[in-house]
Structure 1
Amino acid sequence: MTLPSSFGHWEHLQDMIRREHNKIVARYFKDLGDISWEPNINTPRAALRTACRIDDQDTAIMTLIRLYLFYEVLGYGKKRLGNFYGMPALDFQESFEGRPQVFLFFSQDRASVPDKLSPITAEISFRLMDETSESITPAKALTLANKIKQEMTDGGKEIYFNKGRILVNYNDRKHGLALRIYATSEDEGEKIIKKILTIRNISFNASHLSVSIPKRQSQNLPKGTKTIYGKQRKNRRWRPSARVRFRYAYLYVHGLNEVVPLVDATGQWIDALVHV
């Protein structure tokens, strides 16, 4: 059957994109309502959903910008990608089976990032040695998420620590802890370590703590260039110092194709078990 004489390629394409995209947006913002939700800008999340939702009257440029906002700026296009380890995720998991692992992510506030530089980040991980892929459950993950929220927030605000050049280690293999905290002082590193120990209900043991203080100073804004791969390139920062704030936590469980979002303070993990 041929296309009708009145068929419009753009109208048809936009209609298909609008229908399918708005279904995904509705699932992403399901806490606000289903597909019949009426657009409004009464809250920050409502304003975001309104901006992401494609309208029948949108031009091609507006449609593209809405898609870009949702899939790139909010990160939905990257969120469901499989973990990449240099080989397919399932192949990696078969060769490295371990206890469930928790990751805590911190980053510098955008307002304090110098022009043309990326925010300074920090990621801390530990394993749940008392759990396996078979024993860990959604209920246990929720309990863990609530503990993380309790320790990683203070008065409803995400906590921070001052990242820097000093390496504070805490090694307790029995409890799945091989923590490496880059901080501006031993006290700063110990502060975060003790919060992680509280999350795991483990007592602090000073014999597991070690500190490495390099003679070299932090380089936040290095000057000059050097030749790398046949081209002059700007010198990179070395253990820069900055205040980094808790953003989110997720759980990796061997055998799952996706991580389990535990706690989210960014508004981007709609399926996180706990929100800040």
Structure 2
Amino acid sequence: MTDLPDDFNPFEHLQQTYRTEFNRRVDKFFADVPGTGDLSGTRPSLKLACRMTDNDNDAMMNMRHNLFFNVIGYSRKNLAIVYGSKFDTAPPVAGHPQLFLTFSQDSAATPSEESPIEHEKSVRLMKFSCAGGDDDGSTKPAITKANMTEIANEIKTLFISGGRGIDYTCGNKSASYTDPENGFARGNYMLVNSRADAMEVYQKLCNAIDVPFNQEKLIVNDPDKPSTTTAAAGKITILGKQVQNRRYRPVAVLRFRSAYISLGNLVPPVILIDTTLRHTGLVKYP
């Protein structure tokens, strides 16, 4: 056992260690808020209130701990104590139509040794059911062709500009928008290169299905590992042949291509709009 210095104070050591570890978790939880927080908004203010400082007494440390772990609910996010099932408060999504939007890289911008990057984003249409209430017990009305055509026209207005699908830049940051009541379940995310791109796509998607957008429900995580290019990823040898190694969350411009609604079961998806012209949608493009 290492000898401790004569002036070692176990209480100060414990307090400093606790403060460091606690603030590390606060900083990770509020990774979208720069610095130690401020009074410019709800999340910056919460971060400021949660972080412990050298001048805190025991009462303030306990209040910050209680605010972060119990009031905000950090302890109920599978990171400490779990009370009940994490699915208890999320509404069931089975039986609700699912809207999908597809994005892909332009072929002219795709490296010769790579396939175009393709991403897909989905949301449940919680205002509707796939079938009538008599068939699935749902209290929501069954979605109709008129409903889907209305959504298709909204998507055409929001996601097509100048005769082309809008674009955004994907990258190594994962952006999640969590609003189960309005169809955005926990755990889904999209890869972006900036918070602004994520906000634009999610905001347009909320507008398309006529639900409110709340930027405070958007969380963007920035990993330590940077995006890699085709050259940086290099090649590996498989069965004596050199092949391109997989890139890590590469930076690329993705363009909106199509939107469709899945009704589950064995029913084919309903194409709302398709800028590739491979399928006939409910609304014409361009």
TM-score range, shorter chain: 0.5 to 0.7
Whole-angstrom distance in 2 between the partners of 1:271 and 1:191:
24
The answer on whether the counterparts of 1:264 and 1:272 sit within 8 Å (CA) in structure 2 is: no
Matches within 5 A, 1:1-276: 97-134=94-131, 135-178=142-185, 179-221=188-230, 222-226=232-236, 234-276=244-286
TM-aligned CA distance change 1:230 to 1:149, over 3 Å: same
* Alpha-carbon distance, 1:145 to partner: 0.5
Whole-angstrom distance in 2 between the partners of 1:270 and 1:130:
25
CA RMSD of aligned residues (A): 2.2
Match of 2:189, SS?
strand
Q: Which amino acid aligns with 2:247?
A: R
TM-aligned CA distance change 1:116 to 1:204, over 3 Å: same
Post-superposition CA distance 1:73-100 (Å, at most 9, x none): xxxxxxxxxxxxxxxxxxxxxxx94310
Q: Which amino acid aligns with 2:273?
A: V
The answer on whether the counterparts of 2:273 and 2:280 sit within 8 Å (CA) in structure 1 is: no
TM-score (norm 1): 0.60
Whole-angstrom distance in 1 between the partners of 2:252 and 2:235:
23
* Alpha-carbon distance, 1:186 to partner: 0.7
Structure 2's unaligned 5+ residue stretches are: 1-92, 132-141
Report how many residues are paired.
181
Per the alignment, residue 14 of structure 1 pairs with none
Whole-angstrom distance in 1 between the partners of 2:182 and 2:195:
22
Whole-angstrom distance in 1 between the partners of 2:275 and 2:243:
35
Q: Which amino acid aligns with 1:275?
A: Y
* Alpha-carbon distance, 1:121 to partner: 1.3
Whole-angstrom distance in 2 between the partners of 1:223 and 1:137:
47
* Alpha-carbon distance, 1:271 to partner: 4.7
The answer on whether the counterparts of 1:165 and 1:239 sit within 8 Å (CA) in structure 2 is: yes
Structure 1's unaligned 5+ residue stretches are: 1-95
Q: Which amino acid aligns with 2:269?
A: V
* Alpha-carbon distance, 1:266 to partner: 0.7
Match of 1:267, SS?
coil
TM-aligned CA distance change 1:223 to 1:170, over 3 Å: closer
Pick which of 236-245 and 205-214 moved more: 205-214
Whole-angstrom distance in 2 between the partners of 1:261 and 1:125:
14
The answer on whether the counterparts of 1:158 and 1:265 sit within 8 Å (CA) in structure 2 is: yes
Percent identity between matched residues is 35
Whole-angstrom distance in 2 between the partners of 1:171 and 1:97:
17
Match of 1:148, SS?
helix
Whole-angstrom distance in 1 between the partners of 2:277 and 2:267:
22
Match of 1:111, SS?
helix
Match of 1:193, SS?
helix
Q: Which amino acid aligns with 1:218?
A: S
Whole-angstrom distance in 2 between the partners of 1:99 and 1:161:
28
Q: Runs of 4 or more off by more than 3 Å in structure 1?
A: 222-234, 271-274
TM-aligned CA distance change 1:131 to 1:117, over 3 Å: same
Whole-angstrom distance in 2 between the partners of 1:104 and 1:234:
29
* Alpha-carbon distance, 1:213 to partner: 0.1
The answer on whether the counterparts of 2:171 and 2:252 sit within 8 Å (CA) in structure 1 is: yes
User: Which has more radius of gyration?
Assistant: 2
TM-aligned CA distance change 1:271 to 1:161, over 3 Å: closer
